[in-house]
Amino acid sequence: MEIEVKNLTGLRSDEKIKMTAGEVLAVQIPYERLEVFAETLQNAGVHVFSGSLLYYKRMNLKVHIEYLRKWYNSPLKTDDLVRQFNITDVSTRLSKLSRAEIQKLTYIHALLSNNKHIVFIDPFINTVNDNIHLFHKMKEQLVNQGKSLFVAASRLEDAFIVQPDVMKLTEQGLQVVETADNTEEDSISNVSKIKVKANDKTIFVTIEDIEYLESQDGKTYINLGSEKFVMESTLQGAEEQLEAHGFYRCHRSYIVNLHKVKEIITWSKNTYSVIISNPEKAKIPLSRAKFNEIQEKLVKL
C-alpha cells in the first residue's frame, strides 16, 4: 500500500510512503499533522489505532477478545492471547480497569484484525513500560502474520522505541533521520554553565540541570525538566564541551546526562532506551553499539 506524502503535508511532493507486508515503519510526524494523517490512512483502508480506546465499558476483556476474534474470523485462540498479553483479570468490566490494561486490547485487536496494514498513532503516550514490551511482542507477531505496521509518533524518542531506523515527516517530505552534521566547534572544558537562546533572551543553564540534548532539523535542543531550549552549537560541539561533565552520546542524535540516568530498558534485540529520572520518565534512544559502553560509564560514574 502506498500513501502519497502530499496528502499528509498538503505540500507538493511526489514522494510516497510504502507499507510493505512484513515490514515496520517508524515515522516521526509533527503533532499537528497527526489528525490529517489518521484520517488519510483511514480513508485509504488502513486499520488505524489512535490513542482513544473505543471499546464497550460494560463488557470484560474476554468478551471483547472473543467478539473481535469471531468478527474477524481469526484462527488465534482467546486463551493464548490472554496468556501472551499477561491479562490477569478477564472478568472485570472495562469501566473498572486501568487504561494500561485496556490498551492491551488494542494490541490484541491489531493481531486479530483482518486488515493487512496496521497503523498505531502515538502508542507510547500515556503508557507503562510493561505495555511497551507487549507492543514489541505484538510487532513481531504482526510481522510474522505478514502484516505491515506503521508507527507514527509525535516525539522522536518514541519513534526510536519501535526500532533503530526512523524516518520523519517534515515540510520537505519524508526523511531518514541521520547523524547530526559534524562540524568543528571550540571546545571549552571546566565550564559550569552553557549558553542557550530562547527567543530574544540568552539564558545560562547550569550544566548539572540538563537532562539530555537532542538534535533535530540541524538544531540542538537542551532539555531541562519541563523546558526545552535551542543551543547555539552542534551536537558534536556540545558533546566535546560536556563530555567532561558526565555526558554521554548514547545515540546519533542524543546526548544524555549520565547523572540523570535511572535505568536502561531493553525492548527487543536491538532497541534500547535510557530512562531519565524525571517525572515524565523520558525515554532516550540508545544505539545498539553504545549499549555496553554506557553501562561501563554508568558504573564508573
Partner 1 sequence: MNMTRAMAIFEKDLKEFMKNMMLFTSVLIPILMAVFFSRVGIGAGAEGEMPPEILGILAGVVFSAVLFSGIMTMIAEENEKDTLRGLLQSPATIIDIILGKSMVVILMTVISLVASIVIISPENYWTLENIISLVLAGMFFLNMGIGLGLVVKSVATTSVYIIPIMFIFGFTPYIEMLITDPDSIGIKIAEYFPIYQHMFVLEGNAGAVEFIVLAAWVAVSFLLVLWAFNKRKNDE
- From the list 29-37, 58-66, 83-91, 212-220, the region that binds partner 1 by CB under 8 A is 58-66
User: Does 147 interact with partner 1 (rule: CB under 8 A)?
Assistant: no
Among 1, 36, 59, 76, binds partner 1 (CB under 8 A): 59
Between residues 93 and 262, which has the closer beta carbon with respect to partner 1? 93
User: Does 35 interact with partner 1 (rule: CB under 8 A)?
Assistant: no
Contacting residues for 228 by C-beta, under 8 A, at least 6 apart: 221, 222
For cell 473481535, the residue is 68
> Residue 212 corresponds to which cell in the numbers above?
539530555
Give the HSE-up count for residue 5: Cα atoms under 13 Å, Cβ half-sphere.
19
Among residues 72, 43, 78, which one has the least CA distance to residue 60? 78
Name residues contacting partner 1, limited to 101-120 (CB under 8 A): 109, 113, 115
User: Does 45 interact with partner 1 (rule: CB under 8 A)?
Assistant: yes
C-beta separation of 9 from 134 below 8 A: no
User: Does 92 interact with partner 1 (rule: CB under 8 A)?
Assistant: no
User: Does 90 interact with partner 1 (rule: CB under 8 A)?
Assistant: no
Alpha-helix runs per DSSP H in the chain: 5-9, 34-43, 61-71, 78-84, 99-112, 129-144, 156-162, 235-242, 291-300
DSSP code of residue 181: P
Smallest distance from partner 1 to CB 233, Å: 46
Helix (H, G, I), strand (E, B) or coil at 210: coil
DSSP code of residue 226: T
Letter string b/e over residues 178-191, b meaning 16 or more CB atoms within 10 A of that residue's CB = eebeeeebeeeeee
User: How far apart (Å, rounded) are the C-alpha atoms in residues 48 and 44?
Assistant: 10
Neighbouring-strand partners of residue 193 = 206
Among 26, 34, 49, 174, binds partner 1 (CB under 8 A): 49
Residues in contact with partner 1, counted by CB under 8 A, come to a total of 20
Between residues 73 and 226, which has the closer beta carbon with respect to partner 1? 73
Smallest distance from partner 1 to CB 145, Å: 17
- From the list 23-31, 60-68, 180-188, 264-272, the region that binds partner 1 by CB under 8 A is 60-68
- From the list 27-35, 51-59, 122-130, 160-168, the region that binds partner 1 by CB under 8 A is 51-59
User: Does 77 interact with partner 1 (rule: CB under 8 A)?
Assistant: no
Smallest distance from partner 1 to CB 71, Å: 4
Among 6, 47, 116, 259, binds partner 1 (CB under 8 A): 47
User: Does 73 interact with partner 1 (rule: CB under 8 A)?
Assistant: yes
- From the list 23-31, 63-71, 151-159, 277-285, the region that binds partner 1 by CB under 8 A is 63-71
DSSP code of residue 12: -
Give the HSE-up count for residue 60: Cα atoms under 13 Å, Cβ half-sphere.
9
Interface with partner 1 (CB under 8 A): 45, 47, 49, 52, 54-56, 58-59, 63, 66-68, 70-71, 73, 93, 109, 113, 115
